[in-house]
Amino acid sequence: MHALVYSADAEADRAFLRDVLGWRYVEDHPGWLIFALPPGEVGVHPLLGGSDPPRHELHLMCDDVQATVRELSDRGASFDGDVVELGYGLQTYLVLPSGGRLGLYEPRHAMAIEPDISS
């Protein structure tokens, strides 16, 4: 999978992913960073409102959302809202330098990246 994040300040958001989140990357062209992602999974949710347009969201998963919030805050990250319980997990939003948001959550559901899943 190749995910795209469109940003009002791509340079600042790239630096954030590199320096604050510590993601590995390659530099394809000067300043153009392509980041390695951790293992992932995709869920397809129904639209909540009849007139809502389809959308896509990115959520980073972690084992302990409270500890991750503390660690990333110490590195200069900020968050939009408190950690909330949503049934399927605990969630908050990480704010990128451009103002964009990435979900951050601690899953409480079966995960497709677990080694012993059935298909």
DSSP string covering 40-86, please? Answer: --------SSTTPPP----EEE-S-HHHHHHHHHHTT-EESS--EE-
Domain that holds residue 74: 10-40+53-107
> Which CATH number fits the domain that encloses residue 60?
3.10.180.10
Any idea how long the chain is? Answer: 119
Asked whether residue 26 is assigned to any structural domain, the reply reads yes
pLDDT, tens only, 46-70: 887 777 788 888 999 999 999 999 9
Round to whole Å and give the CA distance between 16 and 29.
18
Round to whole Å and give the CA distance between 64 and 90.
9
Asked whether residue 63 is assigned to any structural domain, the reply reads yes
Contact 119, 33 (CB under 8 A): no
- Structural domains in the chain (count): 1
Asked whether residue 3 is assigned to any structural domain, the reply reads no
Asked whether residue 99 is assigned to any structural domain, the reply reads yes
Q: pTM of the predicted model, to two decimals?
A: 0.83
pLDDT, tens only, 8-51: 999 999 999 999 999 999 998 898 999 998 888 888 888 877 77
